[in-house]
Structure 1
C-alpha cells in the first residue's frame, strides 16, 4: 500500500520547500517505501483535519494519520523494521534528538534571516497573508526587517556551523559512513533554503556543502531534482 504524504507547496504544485517534509521524503526514500506526496498549503488545514492539528508533514498509512516529522520517523522504523533503519544501533535516536533541537532552535533561525522574504515570495497567493501575519506576530517585526543586513547574517551562519563543519570534516555523514535520520533532520533545513531562495548560503569550499551535495545525489537525485527559484 502506498503511503500518502501531505507536503507543503508554494505557488506551483511541484514547488516543495518545507524542511520538515523534506526530512520525511528523504526518510521514505531511505527505507525504500512507496509514497504519494500531495501538495498542501498553509490555508488548507481542513485537508489534514483527521490528524488532529494543522501543520505538515502528515502521512496516512493503513488508515492511520500521523504528524510531526520526529514521530513519523519513529513510526516508519517500527512499522517497517525490515527496511533500512533511520535510527540504527543503540543510542542513534537519542543522538538524533539533540540534532533535532539544534536544527530547530539554532540552524533554522540562522537560515531564516537569509531567506524568509524569499520564502514568502514563493508562496501561493492564498497563503501569503497568512504567512506574513503569523510570522510577523511570532517574530514581533516585519519579514523585511528580519532579513536586513544579509552579510552579517551570512557571517553568523558560518560561525554557527562550526561544530557541524568539524564533524563533516571527520566523517562523511552525521550517521557515520552512511546517512541516518540525523542527517535528514539537518539536511531538511538546507533544502528549505535551497528550494526557497536562489541565494547560496554555503561557500563553495566547505565540508557542509560537500555533505549537502552527497545527500542531494542520493535516492536517485530526489532532492537534487526539486524545483528551485530562478537565479
Structure 2
C-alpha cells in the first residue's frame, strides 16, 4: 500500500525536522500511526512544485499531503490536514475531537500568538543563515523584511524579552498540565500537537535556549514530563509499536 506523500521544508541539513507549520501535520500522522513518505523542499522548491501538487490556485505553502489511498487527494495547511485525517481514518486516534473543534481552534490561534511568535523571533536569524543557498538566504531576508517593515535583527529584538513572553504564554498551559496529562485531557489532542510543534522548533534551531525557555520555565517537572510524552511524535516516522 503506497504511503501518504508529506511535503516538508528543509534548511541546510538534510531531513532535519524543524518547521512548526509542517510539524503539526507530521505529529498528527505519527500519533495516528499512518505510513507516510517525506518529500523535502526548500523555499524555492515550494514555489515551483507545490502549485502543481495542490492545483488549487492558493499561495504555495507546506505542509501538503497527497493521499494515494483516496484518489491522490491533496490537502494543504496543517489544520485542514488534521481534520481530513480524523475524518478519513476514523480508526486512528482523533485529534480534533467531536464538539471540541472550536476549542482546539482557539488554542491553535492562542499558541500561534503567545508561544510561536516569540519562538519565531528567537529563531528567525538562524533560519535565514541556514537557508541552503545564498540566493535563498537573500530572498528570505528581503521577503521577510518587506513583510515586517524592519530588518530581521530589529524584528528578532531582545532575546530575554521573547523568553519572558514565552513564559507568560505558558502560564495557563502549565496550570492545565498540572491537572491533566495532556492539554486535551486524558488523551492527546490537537492542542498538544500545536504546542509540541513550538517545542520542537526551538529544540532544533536554538538548542542553547530550549531547556531554560521551555523545560525549566517553572520550578517543577510539569512541562518536561509533558514533553517526554510528546517528543516521540516529532520524529520522521510513527513510534514503533511495542511487542506484546
Paired position in structure 2 for 1:227:
none
Q: 1:202 aligns with which of 203, 206, 214?
A: 214
Inter-partner Cα distance in structure 2 for 1:106 and 1:133: 25
Inter-partner Cα distance in structure 2 for 1:139 and 1:103: 20
Q: 1:47 aligns with which of 46, 49, 59?
A: 49
Inter-partner Cα distance in structure 2 for 1:156 and 1:81: 38
Paired position in structure 2 for 1:228:
none
1:4 touches 1:60 (CA, 8 Å); kept in 2?
yes
Distance 1:70 1:29, change over 3 A: same
Query: Which of 197-206 and 42-51 deviates more?
Result: 197-206
Q: CA deviation at 1:132?
A: 1.2
Q: Deviations over 1:85-130 (max 9, x none)?
A: 1223x32222110011112222222212222112222221242122
Q: Give the unaligned 5+ runs of structure 1.
A: 225-231
Q: TM-score, normalised by structure 1?
A: 0.88
Q: TM-score, normalised by structure 2?
A: 0.83
Q: Deviations over 1:144-195 (max 9, x none)?
A: 1222321222122212211111111121111112211221012112211211
Q: Give the unaligned 5+ runs of structure 2.
A: 238-244
SS, match of residue 161 in structure 1: helix
- For 1:91-170, list aligned pairs within 5 A: 91-125=99-133, 126-170=135-179
**What is the number of equivalent residue pairs in this alignment?**
221
Inter-partner Cα distance in structure 2 for 1:119 and 1:106: 20
Paired position in structure 1 for 2:240:
none
Q: Does 1:71 align with 2:73?
A: no
Paired position in structure 1 for 2:23:
22
Distance 1:203 1:150, change over 3 A: same
Inter-partner Cα distance in structure 1 for 2:165 and 2:195: 17
Q: CA deviation at 1:206?
A: 5.0
Paired position in structure 2 for 1:222:
235
Query: Which of 196-205 and 16-25 deviates more?
Result: 196-205
Q: Does 1:6 align with 2:7?
A: yes
What do you get for the CA RMSD once the two structures are aligned?
A: 1.9
Runs of 4+ in 1 over 3 A off after TM superposition: none
2:199 touches 2:214 (CA, 8 Å); kept in 1?
no
Distance 1:186 1:65, change over 3 A: same
Q: Does 1:35 align with 2:36?
A: yes
SS, match of residue 15 in structure 1: coil
